[in-house]
Structure 1
Amino acid sequence: MKVCLVGSSGGHLTHLYLLKKFWINEDRFWVTFDKKDANSLLKGEKKYNCYYPTNRNIKNLVKNTFLAFKVLKKEKPDLIISSGAAVAVPFFYVGKLFGAKTVYIEVFDRMDKPTLTGKLVYPITDLFVVQWEEMKKVYPKAINLGGIF
């Protein structure tokens, strides 16, 4: 199975990295920011740099949509996993066009209201994961797997 792990640097990337038991033996690549923390954490990993800032930035949303077409056409992942933020949106929607399955993990610090990215990808996500039981009121189709940390 080929896996695309996509997310902003910082906490979102840390969330994905903590899933190492799952992705360590998979053919994988990452999509994240070209920042010190991401470059350090992902040293030796296949990584594509996306455009940032992403939150509420239409220009970079368009650029990341074109990037998603380019990267996903080349890599052809079976599964795309993200914990946010906004860079997940174009990769999930374009990924669905290419037949990829998607898993979104809503961030740990949201206990009772959705993130913007979560709201945008929820309708098309194959598996939507929350880390608090209270979030199932916000996302009824979600499954609660508990905290990643």
Structure 2
Amino acid sequence: MGKTTPDRDRLKILFVASTGGHLTQLLALRDWWATQERAWVSFDHPHAHAALADEQVTWAFSPTTRNIPNAIRNLFLARRVLRRYRPDIVVSTGAGVAVPFFWTARALGIRTLYIEVIDRISTRTMTGRMVYPTVDAFAVQWPEQQALYPDSRVIGATL
């Protein structure tokens, strides 16, 4: 999915997730991302500090749910981070902090992968609805979720 050259075999990934279950689901993919070049965007919270202690992290503005000032701050943050880090792909499980990063990545021509959360089987998340039209790839964890996102791919549970 990413650009590879003889000099660089690894993907350069930017993970974006709020703390709690969203971050935990990305951490569960460690077997996939451990050998990749990566950076993270999350909230300045004890869970994130503990989980990402040895990682390159940018702290986003929180809360994001229905908070217009923080959404705008995170949009500017997304521009700065994406232009500075220049990832091959942005990966997220949500929540609201993913939206400005995905929209900005799209504008900059950076590929995106969204993984719908494991615990929303019969309804779509707000973040899923907002990024679905713009993503390069949309993954779900249950076959039932595919009815909600017709162009998605079932990858199975990440926990």
Q: Could you say what secondary structure the match of 1:147 adopts?
A: coil
1:35 Cα deviation after fit: 0.4
Q: Aligned-pair RMSD on alpha carbons?
A: 0.7
Equivalent in 73, 77, 92 of residue 87 of structure 2: 77
Q: Which residue of 1 aligns with 2:126?
A: 116
1:130 Cα deviation after fit: 0.7
Aligned pair count?
149
Please say if 1:18 is aligned against 2:28: yes
Please say if 1:127 is aligned against 2:137: yes
Note if contact 1:32-1:38 (Cα within 8 Å) is conserved in structure 2.
yes
Could you state the TM-score of these two structures normalised by the residue count of structure 2?
A: 0.92
Q: Percent identical across equivalent pairs?
A: 44
The correspondence of residues 1-149 of structure 1 with structure 2, limited to 5 A, is 1-149=11-159
Instruction: Report the Cα distance in structure 1 between the residues aligned to 2:67 and 2:116, rounded to whole angstroms.
Output: 21
After TM superposition, what 4+ stretches of structure 1 lie above 3 angstroms from structure 2?
none
1:56 Cα deviation after fit: 1.3
Could you state the TM-score of these two structures normalised by the residue count of structure 1?
A: 0.98
Note if contact 1:12-1:84 (Cα within 8 Å) is conserved in structure 2.
yes
